[in-house]
Chain A
Amino acid sequence: MGDRVFSGLAVGAGVLLLAVMAAIAVFLLVEAVPGIRADSKNWLVEKTWFPDSTPSVWGISALAFGTVVSSLIALVIAVPVALGIALFISHYAPRRLAVLLGVLVDLLAAVPSVVYGLWGLNWFSPHILPFAHWLNDRFGWIPLFSGTVSGAQTMFTAGVVLAIMILPIIAAVSREVFLQVPRSLEEAALALGATRWEVIRTSVLPFGRPGIISAVMLGLGRALGETIAIALVLSTSFTLNWHVLEPGGNTIAANIPLNFAEAQGNGRSALIASGLVLFVITLAVNMAARIIIARRKEFVS
């Protein structure tokens, strides 16, 4: 009798968890529909946000653009550095130092995002401004860095802060993968007289490639969903601007708390609709990453 109750509780908890996932999708969808219906033709392509005016005009294209651009900047910066850290911890640092440094990277992950936002706004922005000017002066011929630099609350700054925030997850996952490389593979390469770099290039990186890909996707998922740090660091605007050193831009996630307080009726619905889009995107990214990792596990064992 007690057994049945207890196992029932345990199964129930598992089912509840799946139900919550389903409920998130269903309830967001239900509440998003009125907003989408109000501007059904343009809600994907429009670049403004006036859902409460009549007629309701709003669209997520500028937000989606900002989300993708800031996440891409973050990935471009974070991926090589994170892989370097993972290699450092798994293959370069002395054992004791590696443990200590692993803890340090975990600490990077533990710092709340709002503190990153505060730091990004008050300390980092003013300090990166000279660098932004320098990029603009020297590399302004690249369209990405062209335009007028008039402050540091830009996509570029947001991207760098995001990069720092997603470093730990990419580093942690790829470190795990690097540690799983069979010793025999590495020793075989060493026996052939390979240097440490050649061992890594010929056995560690090829073996870990699926793991690295999923680590990058997990980082991407986190970057896409980061809200408060972006809301603090970026001076938001509804524009589609490729010049990442110019102020402005916005992301789906950051737009929600920024516009939430004033939103009524359609406005709320529109915000919920944008949240639904974000949910679907991050869900797809995370599921893909998990599927790759799961497949890898079967292969290893």
Chain B
Amino acid sequence: MSTLVEPTRAAFTKKVRPLPTWLPAAIFVAALLVAYALLTAVGSSGGGGRVLLAAVLADVIFCVAVFAVSAPREGSRRAKDRVVTAVVYSCFALAVLPLVSLLASTIHRGAAKLTLDFLTHSMRGVGPRDDLGGANHAIIGTVEQVGLAGLIAIPLGLLVAIYLVEYGRGALARGVTFFVDVMTGIPSIVAGLFIFTLFIVILGFGYSGFLGSLALSILMVPTVVRSSEEMLKLVPNELREASLALGVPRWKTILSIVLPTAVAGLVTGVMLAIARVIGETAPLVLTTFFTNSINTNPFNGAQMSLPLYIYTLATQPGKFYNPRAWAAALTLVLIVLLLNLVARTIAWWRAPKAR
């Protein structure tokens, strides 16, 4: 706190004339033009890198110019404040930039190949020079694997959340809370490695979609617990007390009062958990392995999935492989976006009722 500037008498008496609001905007436009001109003059090479470089350069020019204009009139403290504001705004732009670029290139490159044919055909028997085949086998695998992972992780996560909110006391509850948080940080490859060592190396199972589901559920449980815990905590205690006072046993109170009250929030959390694991690739490399054919049985034999499909195709040199990878990426991103959208809509629809 001691670094706070002491207000002097001068600070109170000096009249500050703030810059007109249009001036920073004008300086910004000017900075953009100058940066562009400078880059053209230097003759730097083209592409998206150049746009980025121009933006960064414009930002620097803007900061310097604003400080130079503002400092003599408003004092260096206000000038500094303006510069920091500019830096904070550009940080945000810097984060949105990759997102926009990522979405744009995925849509641009994926849309061409994303046809009904692509969605309904597998890669079985497709040669390296054929522009045929699709991701049907991968879509089936993803749906089955994530579905099974959900069947394991959602009840388990919900039970853990119920334990933490309704029963949890003492050291065990603290331990579980702590390790749920730590579990969110487990690298997905380690989860895959664990399932691999236990089931394939030690117990001698073969690769299968189900083992992939087990690995995914390890990654899913902490997310489900965290979000459900928050939702269950929001249920007002009066509801529980009223039910218990009527002689309803605890477990029935939880099942018929607490859970239905929180159901929208629970669904939201589950959706986000699914969206999170649906793109996990690393654990599947070790547990489901690769195949080009449709395998509808998740309990037996190698099974493909969308992330694995993208991963394998991304590194293949043939000219037909890359468009397929992008089309699969677009499919995956669309699914994730859809799940997020539904989750947020539920959360938003629920919000007014909570008040």
Contact = CB atoms under 8 A, between A and B. Distances in A.
Contacts of B92: 84-85, 88, 93, 101
Give the contact-size bracket for chain A. Answer: 35 or more
Nearest to B79: A195
Which of A15, A20, A80, A194 lies at the interface centre, i.e. has the most chain B CB atoms within 10 A of its CB? A20
Interface stretch (B29-37, B116-124, B127-135, B274-282): B274-282
A30 B194 CA distance: 11
Given A104-B99, A257-B286, A27 B179 contact: no
A82 B7 CA distance: 32
B87 to A, nearest CB: 6
Given A13-B159, A111-B336, A130-B45, A84 B91 contact: yes
A92 B307 CA distance: 38
Contact of B322 (A17, A27, A122, A189): A122
Interface in B59-103: 77-78, 80-81, 84-85, 87-92, 94-96, 98-99, 101-102
Contacts of B11: 193
A218 B183 CA distance: 12
Contact of B3 (A14, A202, A279): A202
A279 B186 contact: yes
B193 A28 contact: yes
Interface stretch (A54-62, A143-151, A226-234): A226-234
Given A101-B92, A108-B99, A268-B201, A228 B185 contact: no
Interface string A264-298: 00001001100100110011011101100010000
A260 interface: yes
Contacts of A111: 99, 102, 279, 333, 336
Contacts, number: 298
Contacts of B294: none
A226 B187 contact: yes
B221 A256 contact: no
A76 interface: no
B47 interface: yes
Given A115-B106, A130-B47, A131-B49, A80 B91 contact: yes
Interface string A107-135: 11011111111110111101111110110
A23 B85 contact: no
Given A9-B159, A10-B167, A118-B326, A227 B188 contact: yes
Contacts of A278: 187, 189-190
A294 B178 CA distance: 9
Contacts of A20: 218
A201 to B, nearest CB: 7
B185 A282 contact: yes
B165 to A, nearest CB: 9
A72 interface: no
B172 A85 contact: no
A167 interface: yes
12 contacts: A11-B167, A17-B179, A27-B197, A87-B91, A122-B322, A130-B47, A131-B53, A193-B11, A275-B189, A278-B189, A278-B190, A290-B182
Given A113-B282, A195-B78, 16 more contacts: A10-B163, A14-B172, A18-B179, A27-B202, A107-B337, A110-B337, A112-B307, A112-B336, A117-B311, A201-B3, A202-B4, A227-B187, A232-B314, A256-B282, A275-B193, A282-B185
Interface of A: 2-3, 5-7, 9-18, 20-21, 23-24, 27-28, 30-31, 80-85, 87-88, 92-93, 101, 103-108, 110-119, 121-124, 126-131, 133-134, 164, 167, 171, 189, 192-198, 200-203, 206, 218, 221-222, 224-228, 231-232, 253, 256-257, 260, 268, 271-272, 275, 278-279, 282-283, 285-287, 289-290, 294
